[in-house]
Structure 1
Amino acid sequence: MPTAHAAVPDRTNADPIPGFGFNPPTAPVPGMEITDLASLHDRMPDGGLERMHRVAFHTLTLITEGSGEHTVDFVTYPCRPATLLWIRPGQVQRFGRRGIMNGTHLLFTPAFPPHATSADRLLDAWSGPTCRQLAIGRDYAVLSALMNQIRAEFTRPGGAASQEILQLQLATLLLQIDRLPRHGERGGPQAGGEVYARFRAELERSYTDTHKAEDYARRLGYSVKTLTRVCLAATGQPAKQVIDARVALEAQRLLSHTDEPVARIARRLGFSEPTNFGKFFVRHTGTTPGDFRRTHKSPR
């Protein structure tokens, strides 16, 4: 039975959203694989990649031919040659129909890149844009060349690929991506500095436990004013809105991609009463949980 997305279904945790863990069928080094979209679809002949699923690793895809769409967390991105997609751990995605576009597809676990380099700050699940359309010129040529170098090292005869070389090549690729223009974007996570990075890491750990900015400030040893300042610099929103947005996103994911009752989703996200969850959801999305589910329910 072929594996899907260089992976097998991840059923080792309580996540109700279908997902894949990292388990390449063949890999000379642990924690990384490079392939292409056509090969990826061949591993999943039943069209599993065209259904919504959550990933537990990073994927970078550079489209090289054809055109289509890729959906990530309720946003559908048009893709054509020179489209760059970066899907991060925890995001929910659906691939476009097989055979209509192809490209280089790089997968790596959060632990694979060298963490002693400045590329480490780019690995957080919440940072950076998902989709960029590169101009057919220098940026596309540089990223394409770097991916080709990674593929050449990864496929060295006899499984002789060097993990250290691949780690450094990946770090170079990530830093080159970080150089790309950010048209119309705010300062980005880096604008909040270390304080924002620590806050977002704590938020990922604790958003199902507490929704209060005061709790995060106390845990991290900062004032709410400091958290708000760095959140405004990075996102344009105060800390409380950043917290609520993270909770609302997970609520939307669970409502759309699972059959869990609304009351169970409410408890999973830290609400003591379903009515409180309902009020929160309406306030942040403009619709009730039931109406959202009916509108956005993923096909099985």
Structure 2
Amino acid sequence: MVSSGQLSPATRTDLSPAEIDTLALGDLAAERGWRRPVLLDADLLVLVTGGHGTVELDFRPLPARPGTLLRAHPGQALRRTGAQLDATVVRWEPAALRGLDVDPDAVPTVRQLTGEDEDAVINEVSQLAVDCRRHRGVPAARGLLRHQLAVLLHRLGLADAAEPETRPEATTFHRFCREVEAGYQHSRRVEDYAARLGCSVRTLTRACLAVTGHSAKQVIDERVALQAARMLAATDEPIARIGRRLGFPEPTNFGRFFTREVGVSPGAFRAGADQPTPGVRIVRPRPPADPTGGTGQA
């Protein structure tokens, strides 16, 4: 048995992209020192095993210490800031869980493990890391790794299980969020989403206000601004091109939109992206799985 705080640092494995691997937190950084965020290309669990510091997830600073567990989604912006942290990262692609009865989105964004829960999770992550390394590239081991990951996710999800939200407004909001995720690069009109869902603009707005306190238009604009912030902070893509990708043919319109939503211009936001938690008003993602507005895949 591996006791709390004794998990060995993980190393990157050479499994196929459709499988599961484990690595150290620092291996995610594109450059030494983690000067700016990285855009994630896979689902992650991050288990902190040593040190104290901060991890930023979509510009939200999350204090981290041994036993802190983070859940991150593809497309989010992640960065370690401040003091060094030792952490094991479990990374997987959606195909790794195909056919298994497990909901990875039931795991909360951040949780501080303690007691028996911490010991159990450390043991499972440790064994998964060992098996990833030992059975690297072995097709017969795929089932073992898939089921180990499923057990880990089940355990983490059960610890925070709650009754599902059954209000009609919540159901409408979740459907709306799915449509926004699929279409935010092409339309910011509430009318378009209402037509896709077969309801009125008033119904969408009422649902969003009931669940989040924000209007349907605000939910859409915050999602667009979040994506813009991610790309400005984590890539070198020209600002005008980012605007075009998000539905702004004219750079001036994109600049006005971003400044209104975030509080600074796109250029100023990018210039300050190498500083921990820019001192600006930054939007938060609002995933369908989390009607409270917590951080998740938006």
TM over 0.5: yes
- How far has the Cα of 1:298 moved from its partner? 7.0
Distance, in Å, in 2 between the alignment partners of 1:180 and 1:160 is 32
> CA contact under 8 A between 1:255 and 1:297: conserved in structure 2?
no
Amino acid at match of 2:215: P
Choose the corresponding residue for 2:234, options 254, 257, 261.
257
Matches within 5 A, 1:1-300: 25-27=13-15, 30-37=18-25, 40=27, 47=32, 51-96=36-81, 100-119=84-103, 122=105, 130-134=109-113, 136-155=114-133, 159=138, 162-181=141-160, 195-232=172-209, 234-296=211-273
Say which is worse superposed, 166-175 or 52-61, in terms of deviation.
166-175
Once residues 85 and 133 of structure 1 are traced to their aligned partners in structure 2, the CA distance between those partners, rounded to angstroms, is: 9
**Root-mean-square deviation over aligned CA pairs:** 3.8
- Mean CA deviation greater in 72-81 or 226-235: 226-235
Q: Report the Cα distance in structure 2 between the residues aligned to 1:179 and 1:92, rounded to whole angstroms.
A: 27
CA distance, structure 1, for counterparts of residue 42 and residue 211 of structure 2:
24
- Equivalent position amino acid for 2:60 in 1: V
SS of alignment partner, residue 62 of structure 1? strand
Alpha-carbon distance between aligned partners in 2 of 1:48 and 1:64, rounded to the nearest angstrom:
19
Aligned length: 265
- Is the Cα contact below 8 Å between 1:257 and 1:297 reproduced in 2? no
Cα distance in structure 1, aligned partners of 2:209 and 2:147: 33
| Rounded Cα–Cα distance in structure 1 between residues aligned with 2:160 and 2:250 | 44
Instruction: Report how far residue 188 of structure 1 moved.
Output: 9.2
What's the TM-score once normalised by structure 2's chain length?
Answer: 0.71
**How many Å separate the matches in 1 of 2:274 and 2:35?**
15
Question: Structure 2, unaligned stretches of length 5 or more?
Answer: 1-9, 277-298
Deviation at 1:82, TM superposition (A): 0.7
Q: CA deviation at 1:79?
A: 1.7
SS at match of 1:111: helix
Conservation of the 8 A alpha-carbon contact between 2:36 and 2:233: no
Cα distance per residue 1:11-55 (max 9 Å; x no partner): xxxxxxxxxxxxx652389421124447x47x98x6275543211
Structure 1 letter corresponding to 2:272: T
Give the aligned residue type for 1:101: L
Bigger mean CA offset, 276-285 vs 195-204: 195-204
* Maintained 8 Å contact 1:37/1:104: yes
Distance 1:271 1:202, change over 3 A: same
Shift in alpha-carbon separation, 1:272–1:175, aligned structure 2, 3 A: same
Take 1:30 and 1:272, find their aligned partners in 2: how far apart are those partners?
Answer: 36
Report the Cα offset of residue 60 of structure 1: 0.7
For residues 148 and 260 of structure 1, do their structure 2 counterparts lie closer, same or farther at Cα, with a shift above 3 Å needed?
A: closer
Q: Which moved more, 1:64-73 or 1:287-296?
A: 287-296
Identity of aligned residues (%): 39
- Shift in CA distance, 178/224, structure 1 to aligned 2, threshold 3 Å: farther
User: Which segment drifts farther, 109-118 or 24-33?
Assistant: 24-33
Partner of 2:95: helix, strand, or coil?
A: coil
More relative contact order in 1 or in 2 (CA 8 Å, sep 6+)?
A: 2
Q: Give SS of 2:272's match.
A: helix
Unaligned runs of 5+ residues in structure 1 are 7-23
Question: Does the 8 Å contact 1:189/1:197 carry over to 2?
Answer: no
